[in-house]
Amino acid sequence: MAPPHFLLVSYPAQGHINPTLRLAKRLIQTGAQVTFVTTVYAQRRMVKPLSVCGLSFAPFSDGYDDGCENKDNLHHVLSEIKRQGTLKLTELVLECADQGRPVACIVYTMIFDWAQEVARRVQVLSAYFWNQATTVFDIYYYYFNGYGDEVRNKSIDPSSSIELPGLEPLFTSRDLPSFLLSSNKLTFVLESFQKNFEALSQDENPKVLLNTFDALEPKALRALDKLKLIGIGPLIPSAFLDAKDPTDISFGGDPFQGSTDYIEWLNSKPKSSVIYISFGSLAILSKPQMEEIACERDDSTLVFPIGGFDPSIIGMFCDALWVEFNLGEHGLWVPVVAFPQGTDQATNAKLITDMWKTGIRVWVNEEGMVERDEIKMCLEIVMGDGERAEGLRRNAEKWKELAREAMKNGGMSDNNLKAFVDEVGQKL
Task: Provide the annotated active-site residues.
Answer: 16
| Helix-helix angle 187-201:74-98, to 10 degrees | 30
Cis before 234? omega within 30: yes
Distance CA(139)–CA(54), nearest Å, equals: 36
Longest pairwise C-alpha distance within the chain: 65
In 264-358 the beta strands, taken as DSSP E runs, fall at: 274-278, 301-302, 314-319, 336-338
Distance CA(428)–CA(418), nearest Å, equals: 16
Q: Are 234 and 212 in contact (CB under 8 A)?
A: yes
Residue 84 one-letter amino acid: Q
Distance CA(326)–CA(348), nearest Å, equals: 8
Distance CA(129)–CA(209), nearest Å, equals: 5
Distance CA(41)–CA(57), nearest Å, equals: 13
Cis before 335? omega within 30: no
Distance CA(422)–CA(417), nearest Å, equals: 9
Q: Which secondary structure element, helix H or strand E, spans residue 86, and what is its range?
A: helix 74-98
Distance CA(186)–CA(189), nearest Å, equals: 6
Q: Are 317 and 325 in contact (CB under 8 A)?
A: yes
Distance CA(234)–CA(326), nearest Å, equals: 10
